[in-house]
Structure 1
Amino acid sequence: MIRAADPDVVMLQEASDPTVVRRLSEATGLHEWGARIGHSTGYLSRHAVTSHAWHHPRGSRHAFLEVELGDVGCRLFGLHLNAWFSKWSEMRRTREIRALLDGIRAHQDGFHAIAGDFNALAPGERLEVRGFPRWIRAMIWLSGRDIARDTIQTMLDGGYVDAWRTLHAGEPGYSFPTWEPHVRLDYLFTPGRYQARIGRCEVFAAPAEARTASDHFPLLVELATA
């Protein structure tokens, strides 16, 4: 599936086994890679990586990953926010994203992107509960029969643009689950001043292996580096 997408960089979630990530690197020809036992986020890259580091702000479930691509002048931040669908888990995700934005403040003037599994719905998007398991539907009902949208709103309020919505104003962009897509949980954001660099954004559902490689379809985004 990665070979079919032919990306320059892959930001991974649930990549807690470095042996698996190394094997992916060998199989795809993306020879720069990083993963750490116990951390969800990892990466593969065709470009030389100047530096990479995991940061774990207080209160966040997973560390977020910082990858600096020196030869293209871009910094990428990969994340995997707290799961569960309730107003309480949304409060935690909002705290996580605020901690991330505070932590990268020194880099916010330069070209960068924040991508990953936000486990959150965007403001104004429809919540389709029929495909959820009963226990998730029960949590949503207890939360007031909807899910708060504070996490993504925090990104928008911070001056970031949603790559999918930039190019697909009226399309749902469902990325989860692969066997019955009905919710968009995977995003890439970049500062609004770099919006013109977003050349392509799609939920990559081909080839057929994408349905078995993960429970999420990957988000494939093209960004101009200048």
Structure 2
Amino acid sequence: MLHRKRAGRHLVAALATAALLAGGSVTAHSQPAPEAAPEAPGVDDCDGKDPAPAAAGDTLRVSTYNIHFGIPVDADDAVPGTDDLDGTAAAIRAQNADVIGLQEVHHKDAWHGDQPTVLAENLKDLYPYATYRTNSENNTGGHTGEAGNMLLSKFPIEQEKHIPLPEGEHVRRGLHGVQVDVGGTKVWVYTTHYSAGYDEPGLAQREGEARATIEALGSAKEPVVMTGDFNARPYDRLIPWFADAGWVDAWTALHRGDAGCTFPADTPIARIDYAYASPSLDIAAAAVPQQPDSDHRALVVDLKLPGKAVGKSAGVVAGAEGQSGNGNLTTFADGTAKLRVCDTKADGYAVRATGYDPATNAEFITRTDPQMADSCYSTTGSVAGPDSVALRVCLIKSGEPPRDCRTEQLS
């Protein structure tokens, strides 16, 4: 049975095995389809992929899913009573994630009721731990009440954090996170829902939300996963900012030849839902299941935990506005290093990443990604004792000197 306790604008609802925490001050209206761009893939390039059975042991499965307040893709969201939370719950079960971030979950809504409570009750056998945070108070038509983000977990939630994002001309949104213990490894999982709109106010607010997210989470050397509906396409200018801050795009790491579209669910033309991992995590799998229970498709990723303490890390982007690729270097407490490099643009250049000692310029690890291969390249090595380590990323082409080189010292 659910018990409620009001404390100001915050709602705390406790199940015997689940806790729902409500609060915050942001919105989650369903967004219109992103404007098609010349680079937008065709529907044939956006076929979904069902996730493989979840791996055991040191692998964590995380998914992100905008549930469109439980309304299937073929239903009219302007008509009350069209939501189907049983279908939403079935879609969530099929993803079989260890931790899942949900967006557009409505609470105290005249049309949709108390969705966090209903979902937590429906899914408590699989996800005994749950938390919800309000993003907004809606007063549009029948959509009155609150809407926000929800995190469901198979693991006990050890800590919870809600970070308000900047308030703009539209609404104020938030970044909601939980820390879970996965076999002795502490992992933070966040979810968010950025503002929609390709007019100047919408773009400015979304980019402000992205900057605030990166500033709040930093380079995230410890295991962190950041998920959500970003309302941005891969070639939008804010996307390279995450790679430059050291984050790894889970889908791009494995599927650069596949668009991975998530919106709209029935005829997808755009990838606007993302999962970013801190560099200590390896991307083992990523899938976009074909599910009709929302206007979005989910993104499901499997992440291999590092199993050792992280030392320092840095990320650097390549090319104009960072659109050509990126490199990421992480060192560990045992003296090893992991280097990842991604070429993300068919511009005739490959991307080379190098770890080196800035005092002597001696290189100790290097890797090249030759021209938009199917997945990013990575390699491991040893740090030969330099007190300071730096990462250099350049564009290269046979017969030409390296160009557009960028460097950053690991911290």
Residue 108 of structure 1 deviates from its aligned partner by 1.5
Amino acid at match of 1:187: Y
Deviations 1:65-107 (A, max 9, x none): 01111344110111100111235422321211111121223x7
Which residue of structure 1 aligns with residue 3 of structure 2?
none
Query: Aligned residues: percent identity?
Result: 26
Q: Which runs of 5+ in 2 are unaligned?
A: 1-90, 109-113, 135-145, 307-411
User: Which of 118, 121, 141 does residue 233 from structure 2 map onto?
Assistant: 121
Which residue of structure 2 aligns with residue 23 of structure 1?
118
Separation in 2, partners of 1:17, 1:7: 23
User: Which of 297, 300, 305 does residue 217 from structure 1 map onto?
Assistant: 297
Deviations 1:33-58 (A, max 9, x none): 11134352111111110011221133
1:36–1:161 CA distance, 2 compared to 1 (3 A): closer
Which residue of structure 1 aligns with residue 174 of structure 2?
63
Which residue of structure 2 aligns with residue 83 of structure 1?
196
Q: When the two structures are superposed, what TM-score results if normalisation uses the length of structure 1?
A: 0.79
Residue 31 of structure 1 deviates from its aligned partner by 1.2
1:192 aligns with 2:279: yes
1:13 aligns with 2:103: yes
Which residue of structure 2 aligns with residue 46 of structure 1?
154
Which residue of structure 1 aligns with residue 221 of structure 2?
109
Separation in 2, partners of 1:171, 1:67: 30
Matches within 5 A, 1:119-158: 119-123=231-235, 149-158=236-245
Which residue of structure 2 aligns with residue 182 of structure 1?
269
Deviations 1:92-126 (A, max 9, x none): 21211111121223x72211011100000112xxx
Separation in 2, partners of 1:27, 1:111: 29
Native 8 Å contact 2:167 2:173 kept in 1: no
Deviations 1:149-195 (A, max 9, x none): 1221211211111111111011111100112111110000113343x
Q: Which runs of 5+ in 1 are unaligned?
A: 124-148
Separation in 2, partners of 1:160, 1:114: 9
Q: When the two structures are superposed, what TM-score results if normalisation uses the length of structure 2?
A: 0.45
Matched residue SS, 1:40: strand
Native 8 Å contact 2:166 2:208 kept in 1: no
Separation in 1, partners of 2:250, 2:243: 11
Native 8 Å contact 2:166 2:173 kept in 1: no
Matched residue SS, 1:14: strand
Residue 9 of structure 1 deviates from its aligned partner by 1.1
Amino acid at match of 2:241: T
User: Which of 255, 260, 268 does residue 173 from structure 1 map onto?
Assistant: 260
Separation in 1, partners of 2:259, 2:199: 21
Runs of 4+ more than 4 Å apart: none
Alpha-carbon RMSD: 1.9
User: Which of 117, 130, 133 does residue 36 from structure 1 map onto?
Assistant: 133
Amino acid at match of 1:22: T
Amino acid at match of 1:203: V
Amino acid at match of 2:131: G
Matched residue SS, 1:50: strand
Deviations 1:190-218 (A, max 9, x none): 13343xx211111111xxxx21x211001
Matched residue SS, 1:16: strand
Q: Point out the structure with the larger strand share.
A: 2
Q: Point out the structure with the larger helix share.
A: 1
Amino acid at match of 1:67: V
User: Which of 92, 114, 130 does residue 205 from structure 2 map onto?
Assistant: 92
Separation in 2, partners of 1:191, 1:8: 17
Matched residue SS, 1:174: coil
Separation in 2, partners of 1:225, 1:159: 17
Separation in 2, partners of 1:168, 1:87: 31
1:87–1:172 CA distance, 2 compared to 1 (3 A): farther
- Between Structure 1 and Structure 2, how many residues are aligned? 193
Native 8 Å contact 1:198 1:221 kept in 2: yes
Separation in 2, partners of 1:171, 1:121: 14
1:83–1:121 CA distance, 2 compared to 1 (3 A): same
